[in-house]
Each structure stands twice: as structure tokens, then as C-alpha cells.
Amino acid sequence: MINFLKIILLTLLLLTINSQQPLLADTADGAKIFEATCAGCHIKGGNIIRRGKNLKMRALKKYKMDSVEAISNIVTYGKNNMSAYKERLSESEIQLVSTYVLNQAKNNWRKK
């Protein structure tokens, strides 16, 4: 009987955790993650450490960073002075923030 209750409780717990996932799939969250994690160096799509390696479309194209795959790759594994975020962000957060960066670049970093 006790075990049965435990299974029910665990299932409910898993269901609540899972049901929170779709809420994350929103561009607003990409923006929040960016502000919290990236804006320190990449404020307004710039780069305070290596100015040329900014997040504007011209630079992204030049360095072949103009895809969600390429951006999520650098965010996951880092590069030179940019650290890796695989320990700090989940895969879906990395996906969201990378999509946000690419969309902002397409939009020339104008606030929406």
C-alpha cells in the first residue's frame, strides 16, 4: 500500500515537472536568459571583450555563427574568452537563447 502511494506521488511529481517544459518555449524566456547570462558581455548584441565578435548579423555571417546550431554550439562548449554554459544552462535553455540571439540579429537588435 505504501509503495503504491509512493508510485502515485512520484508520477504526480514527474507530471508537474514535465508540464513546466512547454511554458519555457517562449521567446520572452530567450530574452530573459540572454539578459541574465549573456548581456554582461554582449549588451545590445555587442561584445565588450572582442568587439569584432559581436552578435550582429554581419559578424555572425563572417564567423559562420549565423545558425541556431552554431550559436548553441559556442554557448554549450565556449570558445577562448567565452566560457562554456553546458553546466549552467539546460539544453532547452541553450536552444531558446540561441534562437533569441539569431532573431535579434535578423532584427538588427531593435527592441521588440
Closer to ligand HEC by CB, 6 or 88: give it: 88
Q: Report in angstroms how near the CB of residue 48 gets to ligand HEC at its nearest.
A: 7
Closer to ligand HEC by CB, 31 or 74: give it: 74
Closer to ligand HEC by CB, 37 or 103: give it: 37
Q: Report in angstroms how near the CB of residue 24 gets to ligand HEC at its nearest.
A: 15
Q: Report in angstroms how near the CB of residue 27 gets to ligand HEC at its nearest.
A: 14
DSSP string, the chain: -HHHHHHHHHHHHHHHHHHTHHHH-SHHHHHHHHHHHTHHHHGGG--SSSTTS-SSHHHHHHTT--SHHHHHHHHHH-BTTBPP-TTTS-HHHHHHHHHHHHHHHHTTT---
Applying CB under 6 A, which residues contact ligand HEC?
37-38, 40-42, 47, 49-50, 53-55, 59-60, 63, 65, 71, 74-75, 79-82, 85, 97, 101
